[in-house]
Amino acid sequence: KCGGGVVALSESQSEAQHPKIEDREPRKKKVVVLGTGWGATSFLKGLDASLYDVQVVSPRNYFAFTPLLPSVTCGTVEARSIVEPVRNIIKKTNGEIKFWEAECIKIDAADKKVLCRCNIENLVGSGEFSLDYDFLVVAVGAQVNTFNTPGVKENCHFLKDVEDAQKIRLSVIDCLEKAVLPSQSEEEQRSNLHFVVVGGGPTGVEFAAELHDYIQEDLIKLYPSVKDKVKITLIQSGDHILNMFDERISSFAEQKFTRDGIEVQTGCRVLSVNDQEITMKVKSTGSVCSVPHGLIVWSTGICTVPVIRDFMQEIGQAKRHVLATNEWLRVEGCENVYAIGDCSSINQRKIKDDIIDIFKAADKNNSGTLTIEEFQEVMDDIIVRYPQVEYYLKKKNILDLRVLWNDPQGNEREEIDIEGFKLALSLADSQVKSLPATAQVAAQQGAYLANCFNRIDHIEEHPEGPRRFTGSGHHNFRPFRYKHFGQFAPLGGEQAAAELPGDWVSIGHSTQWLWYSVYASKQVSWRTRYLVVSDWTRRFIFGRDSSR
Ligand code: FAD
Ligand code: MG
Ligand code: MG
Ligand code: MG
Ligand code: MG
């Protein structure tokens, strides 16, 4: 009633005032965007909002710079420094964008509308409203995956949002204040000061490193009586921490943590958690043990949020884990709905499914065979449409396409038939990879989609270009293509590791400085950039704040 009503009213007013303009100009298409995270913000920044009637719905009226969340848990950076009000972001765009602080509770793809509910406390009247759309951009992100482990929801902290980071910061201080109370036995002190991190991915590792620095650099000076009783344990179910990174980085991290006294327990699965203890199973021996804890941060990966689960059910994707889109980011089986970022995953088309069509298109004289020239000509288009082919060529170090062209014995041939063509290319499908759930991917997808939307007339006729390969080379839109700029893993003690494109690995103090400069430059506004840099400076000079 609040949101929907307001829109309807202002539209009918403008119709009454300018009926002629309304007659001449077709109604602007309605775009509804769900979310204000990495994907949505990047989309909104790139979109020419004068072309559409744009509305944004999110329960958070700000964008949060998630890579600095681990720093917020220890007060290295203040929470306010990493958030930017979404109203600041949208007022800078060309054209009006409306924002409603509410959560989407249902996507009704059949009627092209979304049902939303405002969760602000003490709202007078109903907070529920529905919005119609012509195009829907879903960028609601994901939620923490507990793998249904008993007690996790009730007794663990997550590290997904600004509020989570703030709660962790308070709890860390609480643990220390509890431990120094005169009524505490030594055993109770040790339990209160046992900090457990579950999950050895980038977030868990960075948090453990940050907490270690916080305790060593700031807290033990303030709580000297308990300084030998603090312990940090990092639990990882796989064999190594940071296993998505290069081996050199993961073993450097393990060694550094061991030197620092952070206990790394790999090959361990958490069975349950209660307010006192965490129970886990050592995979290799099968033994089960329970350890008392003061605080647990659970960061073992993500899963689909309920509203997207329901939507997947409605559009026939119930069997999938993640919402699938095509390579143009349009939701499979659903007209006019696009999805970007952590809530979705691209369903890359396999080249073997189209191989006959490709062959026919390439064989211009219908001879039933291809020459090397015909083959080379079609390769450029193939690489755009099926990026796995490029990964395959790179992986096998194939610089000259003739290598693919030769027969299995390695002899050169004049022409190739369909069987030979299949043999040459279908192996490439083994290189199809799904993109990681990172800010980098979400932001690039948002920017790509905005660019497509800005060419409004194309969108209406061919939302995603020719579905099948035509060989003509004239795609309306190139499919989305991810460009990886590398990834950092801050490891504490002013050291970081980085994996940069081209198998480049760099570790150490200089990498930490690279990290500082990259994250300062990636800030969404000059305001947050100033705040973050001054927080870092303050920390260098005065240390971190330890008040509750
Ligand atoms: P999000 O950014 O999560 O945004 C989702 C948005 O949707 C939010 O605004 C949310 O409020 C809103 N929303 C949720 N439910 C609804 C609903 N029902 N209706 C409407 N709106 C809704 N990536 C990197 O590349 N580098 C890093 O260093 C890095 N570090 C990270 C550190 C931490 C601690 C975390 C948690 C993540 C990190 N990531 C990093 C990952 C990165 O944050 C995510 O991949 C990225 O946020 C995904 O963008 P998104 O737009 O899909 O989702
Ligand atoms: Mg988003
Ligand atoms: Mg975000
Ligand atoms: Mg994704
Ligand atoms: Mg031919």
Q: What is the DSSP string of 403-453?
A: HHHS-TTS---SEE-HHHHHHHHGGGGGG--PPPS-HHHHHHHHHHHHHHH
**Ligand 2 centre distance from Cα of residue 488 (Å):** 21
**Ligand 3 centre distance from Cα of residue 493 (Å):** 26
Domains of the chain: 2-59+102-142+304-344 (3.50.50.60), 152-303+485-542 (3.50.50.100), 351-431 (1.10.238)
pLDDT at res. 462: 54
**Token code pair at residue 399:** 């610089």
> Which residue, 31, 36, 87, is CA-closest to 57?
36
pLDDT in tens, the chain (548 residues): 333 333 333 444 444 444 454 455 678 999 999 999 999 999 999 999 999 999 999 999 999 999 999 999 999 999 999 999 999 999 988 889 999 999 999 999 999 999 999 999 999 989 999 999 999 999 999 999 999 999 999 999 999 999 999 999 999 999 999 999 999 999 999 999 999 999 999 999 999 999 999 999 999 999 999 999 999 999 999 999 999 999 999 999 999 999 999 999 999 999 999 999 999 999 999 999 999 999 999 999 999 999 999 999 999 999 999 999 999 999 999 989 999 999 999 999 999 888 988 898 888 888 888 888 888 888 888 888 888 888 888 888 887 777 777 777 777 778 888 888 888 888 888 888 899 999 999 999 999 999 999 987 665 555 544 444 444 433 457 889 999 999 999 999 999 999 998 889 999 999 999 999 999 999 999 999 999 999 999 999 999 988 87
**Ligand 4 centre distance from Cα of residue 322 (Å):** 8
Residue 193: partners with Cβ closer than 8 Å, 6 or more residues away: 175, 176, 179, 226, 229, 230, 231, 294
Tell me whether strands 135-138 and 143-144 are parallel, antiparallel or unpaired.
unpaired
Predicted complex ipTM: 0.97
Atom 9, ligand 1: residue with shortest CA distance: 36
Instruction: Tell me the ligand closest to 65's alpha carbon.
Output: 3
Give the ligand 1 atom nearest the CA of 440: 25
Residue with tokens 């799904």: 434
Give the angle 515-342-212 at the CA atoms, nearest 5°: 40
Chain segment 461-471, per-residue pLDDT in tens: 555 444 444 44
pLDDT at res. 460: 56
Atom 30, ligand 1: residue with shortest CA distance: 67
**Ligand 4 centre distance from Cα of residue 257 (Å):** 31
Give the ligand 1 atom nearest the CA of 140: 7
- Edge-to-edge strands of the sheet including 504-508? 487-492, 495-500, 504-508
**Ligand 3 centre distance from Cα of residue 67 (Å):** 9
Phi/psi of residue 242, nearest 5 degrees: 50, 45
Give the ligand 1 atom nearest the CA of 105: 18
Atom 45, ligand 1: residue with shortest CA distance: 438
Which secondary-structure segment (H or E) carries 129? strand 128-132
pLDDT at res. 407: 76
Residue with tokens 């600041």: 88
Does residue 544 contact residue 76 with C-beta atoms inside 8 Å? yes
Write out the residues surrounding ion ligand 2, Cβ under 5 A: 35, 37, 39-40, 139
Instruction: Tell me the ligand closest to 436's alpha carbon.
Output: 4
- Give the span between the Cα atoms of 541 and 539, in whole angstroms: 5
**Ligand 1 centre distance from Cα of residue 145 (Å):** 14
> Which residue, 416, 428, 432, 431, is CA-closest to 373?
416
Query: Which segments of 261-371 does DSSP mark as H helices, in order?
Result: 306-314, 351-362
Q: Which of 36, 72, 307, 438 to mutate to test the pocket of ligand 1 (most atoms within 8 A of CB)?
A: 438
- Which residues form ligand 1's pocket by a CB distance below 6 Å? 34-40, 57-60, 66-67, 69-70, 103-104, 139-141, 159-160, 203, 305, 307, 341-343, 437-440, 442
- Give the span between the Cα atoms of 349 and 469, in whole angstroms: 11
**Ligand 3 centre distance from Cα of residue 64 (Å):** 5
Instruction: Tell me the ligand closest to 300's alpha carbon.
Output: 1
**Ligand 2 centre distance from Cα of residue 516 (Å):** 24
Tell me whether strands 62-64 and 83-85 are parallel, antiparallel or unpaired.
antiparallel
**Ligand 2 centre distance from Cα of residue 446 (Å):** 9
pLDDT at res. 27: 85
Chain segment 181-230, per-residue pLDDT in tens: 999 999 999 999 999 999 999 999 999 999 999 999 999 999 999 999 99
User: Using the 8-state DSSP alphabet, how is residue 114 labeled?
Assistant: E
